[in-house]
């Protein structure tokens, strides 16, 4: 299957995004009908001000498997509620004061109300999933649990990272577990929900989950390339970023001396060991992103052919490139 031209896929994705942005407020009003209008308006802003990559992916997969967008929309809104709630929690936990060029919610509502609003959004997404089907609520619950477990176990500093030691042979590295929990699992849930909405066969549901999971992992790697190896963006504590960077180095087996070297140490050419390792990491990370995009496209072998199939083949690279927008 040949991928659709980028311009063609971009136009189709924008149409899905427009559909989502137009219809999602109706579903948000229904989901949160018991809340006062100002609270519903706040949740609508939190859900709609991002790229809606996961919600649009739900719509895309549903469409590709013969479903209708009207069946995809409540599921797309549920997954975007979970994404938005996770960011509300992340900003408070990481003491990040800015989100999408606005004050982070915890700085305006206060930590208590911000965390409780995130909890409310998680719980409401699950309640709405339960109204759809058992498969829907299970998918949403598993995604929330995986994201929370990943955040709980992610190393917060170099000492915690060192105490864990190397991953046992034949198992996923810590970095692979982090990117799966942090982003892959929620993308995977988005793809799975799209397949469920379409009433797809069990094997297609599994393929949709694997397809979307690989996209999410590549998306997180692209984010790390920009966040950890690019210019500092002021998000996250220095200790957390140092631990994340060390986790990335360990994944690619960059030498142990590189992990422990002080940033002020220099080699004979006046270059710090950390700078050398980061220069080595960039091409490796790009190669790993490309590998996961290929794995994602490979999962489409059992999907329906035709125009939508071509669009799905174009989806992984396009969605990962959305990461550069940093919203």
Over residues 37-47, the mean pLDDT reads 97
Q: In angstroms, rounded to a whole number, what is the distance separating the alpha carbons of residues 240 and 252?
A: 19
* Mean pLDDT, all residues of the chain: 86
Phi, psi of 216 (to 5 degrees): -60, -40
Q: In angstroms, rounded to a whole number, what is the distance separating the alpha carbons of residues 317 and 5?
A: 12
pLDDT at 301: 87
Lowest mean pLDDT segment, chosen from 148-162, 167-181, 220-234, 248-262: 248-262
Q: In angstroms, rounded to a whole number, what is the distance separating the alpha carbons of residues 277 and 253?
A: 10
58 in Cβ contact with 79 (< 8 Å): yes
Percent of the chain with pLDDT over 70: 83
Give yes or no for residue 259 having a pLDDT over 60.
no
At how many degrees (to 10) do helices 69-93 and 185-197 cross? 160
pLDDT at 36: 97
Between 4 and 31, name the one with better pLDDT.
31
pLDDT at 247: 83
Token code pair at residue 308? 């939508």
Domains and CATH numbers, the chain: 6-325 (1.10.600.10)
105 in Cβ contact with 91 (< 8 Å): yes
Q: In angstroms, rounded to a whole number, what is the distance separating the alpha carbons of residues 284 and 2?
A: 26
Per-position DSSP letters for 290-309, written without gaps between them:
HHHHHHHHHGGGGS--SHHH
* Residues composing the chain: 327
pLDDT at 112: 97
Give yes or no for residue 77 having a pLDDT over 90.
yes
Cβ-in-10-Å burial (0-12, 13-18, 19+) of 220 comes to buried
pLDDT at 234: 58
Between 310 and 183, name the one with better pLDDT.
183
pLDDT at 326: 55
Percent of the chain with pLDDT over 90: 63
Q: Provide the total of helices (H) and of strands (E) in the chain, helices listed first.
A: 15, 2
Q: In angstroms, rounded to a whole number, what is the distance separating the alpha carbons of residues 44 and 24?
A: 8
Over residues 228-253, the mean pLDDT reads 74
Between 170 and 197, name the one with better pLDDT.
197
Give yes or no for residue 255 having a pLDDT over 90.
no
Give yes or no for residue 272 having a pLDDT over 60.
no
Over residues 192-211, the mean pLDDT reads 96
């Amino acid at each position: 299957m040949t991928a659709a031209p980028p311009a063609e896929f971009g136009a189709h994705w924008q149409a899905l995004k427009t559909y989502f942005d137009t219809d999602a407020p109706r579903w948000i009003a229904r989901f949160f009908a018991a809340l006062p209008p100002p609270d519903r308006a706040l949740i609508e802003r939190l859900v709609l001000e991002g790229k809606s990559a996961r919600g649009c992916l739900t719509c895309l997969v549903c469409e590709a498997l013969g479903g209708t967008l009207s069946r995809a929309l409540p599921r797309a809104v549920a997954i975007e509620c979970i994404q938005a709630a996770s960011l509300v929690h992340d900003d408070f936990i990481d003491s990040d004061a800015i989100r999408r060029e606005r004050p982070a919610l915890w700085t305006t509502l206060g930590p208590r109300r911000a965390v409780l609003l995130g909890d409310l959004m998680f719980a409401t997404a699950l309640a709405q999933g339960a109204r759809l089907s058992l498969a829907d609520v299970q998918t949403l619950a598993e995604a929330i649990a995986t994201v929370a477990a990943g955040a709980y176990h992610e190393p917060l500093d170099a000492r915690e990272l060192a105490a864990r030691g190397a991953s046992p042979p034949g198992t996923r590295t810590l970095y692979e577990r982090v990117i799966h929990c942090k982003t892959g699992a929620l993308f995977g849930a988005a793809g799975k929900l799209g397949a469920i909405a379409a009433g797809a066969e069990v094997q297609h549901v599994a393929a949709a989950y694997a397809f979307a999971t690989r996209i999410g992992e590549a998306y997180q790697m692209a984010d790390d390339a920009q966040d950890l190896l690019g210019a500092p963006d002021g998000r996250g504590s220095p200790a957390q970023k140092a631990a994340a960077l060390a986790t990335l180095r360990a994944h690619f087996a960059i030498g142990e001396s590189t992990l422990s070297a002080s940033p002020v140490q220099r080699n004979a050419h006046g270059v710090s060991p950390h700078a050398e390792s980061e220069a080595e990491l960039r091409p490796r990370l790009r190669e790993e992103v490309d590998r996961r995009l290929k794995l994602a496209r490979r999962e489409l072998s059992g999907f329906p052919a035709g125009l939508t199939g071509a669009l799905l083949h174009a989806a992984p690279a396009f969605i990962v490139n959305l990461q550069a927008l940093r919203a």
